[in-house]
Amino acid sequence: MFQRTVVVRRLSALVVLSLAALAGRDASAELRAGAATSNITPEIGRPIIGGFSPAPSKHIHDELHARCLVLDDGKTKLALVVCDLLGVHKLVSDEARRLITERLGIPKSHVLISGTHTHSASSALGEDRYNPKPVIDDYQKFVAQRIADGVARCVNTLRPAELAFGTVDVPEHVHNRRWFLRPGSMPENPFGQLDLVKMNPGAGNPNLVEPAGPIDPTVSFLAVREAGGGKPIGLFAAYSLHYVGGVGGADISADYFAVFSETMKELLTPERQDPPFVAMMANGTSGDINNINFRNPPKERRKPYEQMRYVGQDVAAKVAGAMKDLKYKSDLTLDARYAEPMIKFRHPTPEQLSWAQQKLAEPEEPAAKANLPRIYAQRAMKMNEHPEAGPMPVQALRIGDVCIGTLPCEVFCEIGIEFRSRSPLKPAFMVSLAHGYYGYLPTPRHHKLGGYETWLGTNRLEPQASVKLLDAVVELAGEMKQ
């Protein structure tokens, strides 16, 4: 009797241990998520960048934010951050990720930080984005700290969650901005040469022939809600639309990216929710895409912010509509890879250097418009100071079956389309302007066509950069495939 009792007790103990182990395994596999925002609005008076002649801001139309989402599967945490900035300097990303790793234990490789590319924000790229040896400034430190704060708040609000991936095509707002023109109608570029294509050739231009590339109409998004069909937590989306613009005067504004985010909040959580739902719109691959219909322009000029609201609200409504049939999961694999392959910088040829020196030796005369030849002469001289090559941050994240690839440039949409096709993990999409800002990233074909995005100074990396960087991201994605 004594032996039987001991055996039963031992079996019971084993059952309890097995159930505990099973419960622990289930708990560790359960997805948790948290979302938050951090205000990164600069003081009034800092220059607004995005054009050739930055001017001090005079008003804040809408605040700038770092919108953050953290996912945790019990073993791995990922942090996704989208900042209302023209771009994020590598110094800012490095500092923010250092703080996040020290404070929260999330590896630097598992944090994605990107800029939306609003053209109505002050600079987090430093006083001189072309300086090859920059030093982090006060505003950059502030942005990095606020990013880390936002991620910490996400971690503080982690709760059981489930996630779904979706897409919706919204082609009506995206137009390729690089055009072939009729023979004899191409204007000279700032270097006194003729390109084969023209960026922003003018709405209704009678010399338009055809766009030099495609569009990417797909909005890709990750929707996160509380487990069991509960309240929405966050939404991470990407759309290949450069920006919209149409701000009033010298206003600070987060552009359509923020309109989308706030509209999603209104649509999904019309009543106040605590913790708040956070939506974010990252820039997809929009280096050659904008919101201007050059062939059939609108007849009436819109008022400030009108077009911005129209686009942001419409895209949000279409994403909300696409969310109705999503299938949510809580058992997801999270993973990330990060690398910094060396890519060559472009340098002026001896002829370009001589041209730049001559141009800068000319007397500078006041002009109503920006003096592009002089500006590009200055940029050519700056590019001449760059090293032979530099490390370019690339990243791939796995969220369930979904793969997000990133590049630190204004990426042409063809590259994003190719990544979607080539990624070993599918579905896949790409985010631009992540962890750095190194100018435009055209394909080799577009380098041969010329145009604004390929000019020395606008473009900083070797003509084969897009091939090398895309290969690197695809390789990182392949490492995560099981």
Q: Mention every residue, 6+ apart, whose C-beta is less than 8 A from residue 7.
A: none
Q: List, in sequence order, the alpha helices (H) in 275-349.
A: 306-322
d(CA 385, CA 382): 5
301 burial type by CB count under 10 A (0-12 exposed, 13-18 middle, 19+ buried): exposed
Residue 238's H or E segment, with its range, is strand 232-239
pLDDT tens series, the chain, 482 aa:
334 333 333 333 333 333 333 333 344 468 999 999 999 999 999 999 988 888 999 999 999 999 999 999 999 999 999 999 999 999 999 999 999 999 999 999 999 999 999 999 999 999 888 888 899 999 999 999 999 999 999 999 999 999 999 999 999 999 999 999 999 999 999 999 999 999 999 999 999 999 999 999 999 999 999 999 999 999 999 999 999 999 988 999 999 999 999 999 999 999 999 999 999 999 999 999 999 999 999 988 899 999 999 999 999 999 999 999 899 999 999 999 999 999 999 999 999 999 999 999 999 877 778 899 999 999 999 999 999 999 999 999 999 999 999 999 999 999 999 999 999 999 999 999 999 999 999 999 999 999 999 999 999 999 999 999 999 999 999 999 86
pTM over 0.75, yes/no: yes
Pick from 473, 464, 408: nearest CA to 435: 408
Cα distance between residue 239 and residue 289, in whole Å: 11
For 13, residues 6+ apart whose C-beta sits below 8 A from its C-beta are: none
The set of residues, in sequence order, having a beta carbon less than 8 Å from that of 368 and lying 6+ positions away, is: none
Rounded to an integer, what distance in angstroms lies between the CA atom of residue 263 and that of residue 283?
17
Amino acid at 146: R
